[in-house]
Amino acid sequence: MTTYFENTISKIYGDKDDFIIIGLTGQTGSGCSTVASILSKKQDQIKHSLYKGGSPNDNTQRKQKIIYKCFEKTWTPFISIQASSILTLLLSEKSIEDTARFIGGVAGLTDDLQTKIIENIKVIKDTHTNLNHQDINSLRVFYTEFLPNQNNELKNQIGGAGYVALFQTVGNNVRNSGNPTSNEVIGGNFFL
């Protein structure tokens, strides 16, 4: 009997699919979001300095022209799914009471900010609940547009330092226990 995880992996890596997964990881401010943003752009939106003239003058220009021709003919924008969006979704899957209790325990968040965060989480929860999970386009829009927009709203409401503190805590909790609201280390339920 295959598990849900094994079944999902086999679907992702099925013979009919032709795709690339790139995982960008780094500290806050290291440029991962910038790179993801560039890779998600349409071809005409990407600024580059690749040589695209007539006859190359040297080996460097020749190599750049080869890269440019390939880029020009084959570029397809990547779909970006942000880790912070997934962490927000994991938070929204908890009960509102658990999430509120957890948010209340994060240092530096005022009562007003806590209320705004909980309201944002409720919107995500309701939208995810009402989502047609069989419609691939609805799922793509949810994960690549809706969740990042909600995350940006959270970031603007909380501010940079509070946002980083909140999501560092959520990320640590998920890695230790598989639960975004618990800092307990649970063997077998953690992610590396």
**What does the domain layout of the chain look like in residue ranges?**
41-74, 83-177
19: helix, strand or coil: coil
Q: What is the pLDDT of residue 72?
A: 93
Residue 94 has pLDDT above 50, yes or no: yes
Which residues, at least 6 apart from 163, have a Cβ–Cβ distance to it below 8 Å?
A: 154, 155
More reliable by pLDDT, 5 or 83: 83
What is the per-residue burial (b if ≥16 Cβ within 10 Å, else e) of 47-61?
eeeebeeeeeeeeee
Output the pLDDT for position 1: 43
pLDDT 10s digits, 160-190: 778 888 888 898 898 888 889 988 887 766 5
More confident: 192 or 121: 121
Candidates 96, 186, 187, 77; CA nearest to 140 is 77
List pLDDT tens digits, range 15-71: 556 678 888 888 767 888 889 999 999 999 999 999 999 899 999 999 999 999 999
**Of 106 and 12, which is predicted with more confidence?**
106
Q: What pLDDT was estimated at residue 157?
A: 86
Q: Which residue has the higher pLDDT, 143 or 12?
A: 143
pLDDT of residue 16: 59
Q: Evaluate if residue 4 carries a pLDDT over 60.
A: no
pLDDT at residue 64, as a whole number: 94
DSSP structure string for 23-75: ----STTSSHHHHHHHHTS-GGG-------SSS-SSHHHHHHHHHHHHHHHH-
Q: What pLDDT, in 10s, does the model give residues 117-151?
A: 899 999 999 999 998 888 888 888 998 899 999 99
Q: Considering the entire predicted model, what is its pTM? A: 0.72
Quick: pLDDT tens for 68-83. Answer: 999 999 999 998 888 8
